Every structure is written in structure tokens, then in C-alpha cells.
């Protein structure tokens, strides 16, 4: 598996909205939440200024992993104004194949390079990413 990373630029805004929609995961048998959920102020705060990932040789991104500092106690897992909240999403075709782990580890590496001591991640019960999160620290 070879995965490449590139920054999310303003022209990728529609792409990020798509990945945010995928990231708003609910346990089965629930499907994706209604797309209108993206318009809620508490959700919109997660969709700006982030990075994207793609498999080398492919032109289209397969997922996104992003972090954002959220002020004033906003967000699902707010800790403090120095702790970014992390979001991650992969297109369904690429889920459960190790790409998410690579994306998250790359994002955490960037956080370490920027002297960020911790990040926050909200995870619905039953998601295996919790184990990854513990192993990555």
C-alpha cells in the first residue's frame, strides 16, 4: 500500500464536505445522516482548512484526515483551545484496508512536528479506530 498526502486547498471545499458527510458515522444499521446535517452550525465548524490523501498514481482523493482548533467549547469533543479536534473519513471502497490508519498516523506526525501535545477524536461506540488511537499514542 502506497499512500500520498497533500494539503486541502480552497478549491477542494466540495470534496471536504463529502468526506465530512462520510465522517458523521452512525452504527449499523443506520446509513449516512441526511446531507442537510452538514448545514448545522455545530457540524459546519469541521469543514475548513484541512488536508487530503490519495493513493499514489490516482488522481482522486480517497479520504481526508483533518484537525481543527475550535474555540469556546464548540464541537463534539472539545478539551481546550490548544487541543485540535480530529476528523477522518474514507470513501467506502477504501475502508477496512489500512488507509485510515496510515492517514491518521500521518496526521498525528504532523501534529507532533507542530508541537501539538494532544488531539481530540469523537468515536461512536464499537468503532475499531479507538484501538488504533490508543496504539498510536
Render pLDDT for 79-137 as a digit per residue (tens, 0 to 9): 888 888 888 888 888 888 888 888 888 888 888 898 998 888 876 665 555 555 545 54
The string of DSSP codes covering 72-112 is TT-STT---TTSPEEEEEE-GGGTTTTHHHHHHHHHHHHHH
- Would the pLDDT of 19 be above 70? yes
Which of the two residues, 76 and 80, has the higher pLDDT score? 80
Q: What does the pLDDT read at residue 115?
A: 92
What is the residue-averaged pLDDT of the chain?
A: 76
Quote the crossing angle between the two packed helices 99-113 and 129-136, to the nearest 10°.
Answer: 40
Q: Are 83 and 114 in contact (CB under 8 A)?
A: no
Percent of the chain with pLDDT strictly greater than 70: 75
The SS3 assignment for 12 reads: helix
In terms of pTM, does the model score above 0.85?
A: no
- Would the pLDDT of 14 be above 70? yes
Which of the two residues, 117 and 73, has the higher pLDDT score? 117
Amino acid at each position: 500500500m502506497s499512500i500520498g498526502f497533500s494539503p486541502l486547498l480552497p478549491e477542494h471545499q466540495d470534496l471536504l464536505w463529502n468526506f465530512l458527510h462520510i465522517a458523521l458515522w452512525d452504527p449499523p444499521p443506520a446509513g449516512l445522516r441526511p446531507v442537510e446535517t452538514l448545514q448545522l452550525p455545530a457540524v459546519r465548524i469541521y469543514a475548513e482548512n484541512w488536508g487530503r490523501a490519495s493513493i499514489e498514481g490516482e488522481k482522486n482523493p480517497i479520504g481526508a484526515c483533518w484537525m481543527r482548533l475550535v474555540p469556546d467549547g464548540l464541537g463534539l469533543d472539545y478539551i481546550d483551545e490548544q487541543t485540535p479536534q480530529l476528523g477522518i473519513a474514507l470513501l467506502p471502497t477504501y475502508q477496512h484496508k489500512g488507509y485510515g490508519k496510515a492517514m491518521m498516523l500521518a496526521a498525528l506526525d504532523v501534529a507532533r512536528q507542530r508541537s501539538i501535545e494532544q488531539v481530540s477524536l469523537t468515536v461512536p461506540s464499537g468503532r475499531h479506530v479507538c484501538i488504533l488511537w490508543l496504539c498510536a499514542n
